[in-house]
Amino acid sequence: MVDVSPKAVSARTAQAEARLRLPAAVAARLKETGGATTKGAVFDTAIVAGVMAAKKTHELIPFCHPIALEDVQISLEFEGEDEIVVRCRATATHKTGVEMEALTGAAAAALTVYDMCKALSPEIVIHRIRLLAKRGGKSDYQACPDSPQSR
């Protein structure tokens, strides 16, 4: 674990995303049912799972510091006909950043969508899990929308 004791406490925010590419039939089904499957409300369940995962990041990822998160927001929306974009924003006032919490929240929410829709098709693809932005600490970061990593 990295020693953060000499660092100053500051407001930290990070935003991450994960994307799911759905077979056309799965996307159509989610749209016509309002996002429900036989397992329940997909987007609502994914939001809860993402928040829970972000709060437990230090239990899942070795060497992550336990952080008292002050806010976690998860959003899911369709982009185009067959893609769901999951975004997670995590906020804390701490000596270390919240990038891993945002990434973990986005990934867990995407995995929850997969779990709740896998009976419809196992060909759902989770891709492009990435950090979009971070603020606070030593340096800020903003992903370039047209960089090779964003495609």
The tokens of 133 are what? 């932005």
Catalytic residue among 44, 82, 115, 146: 115
Length of the chain as a residue count:
151
Cβ-contact 43, 37 below 8 angstroms: no
* Residue 133 burial (CB count, 10 A): 15
* Residue 6 burial (CB count, 10 A): 6
CA distance 19 to 9: 32
Cβ-contact 124, 26 below 8 angstroms: yes
CA distance 107 to 83: 15
CA distance 37 to 108: 18
**Could you confirm whether 115 is annotated as catalytic?**
yes
Q: Tell me which residues are annotated as active site.
A: 115
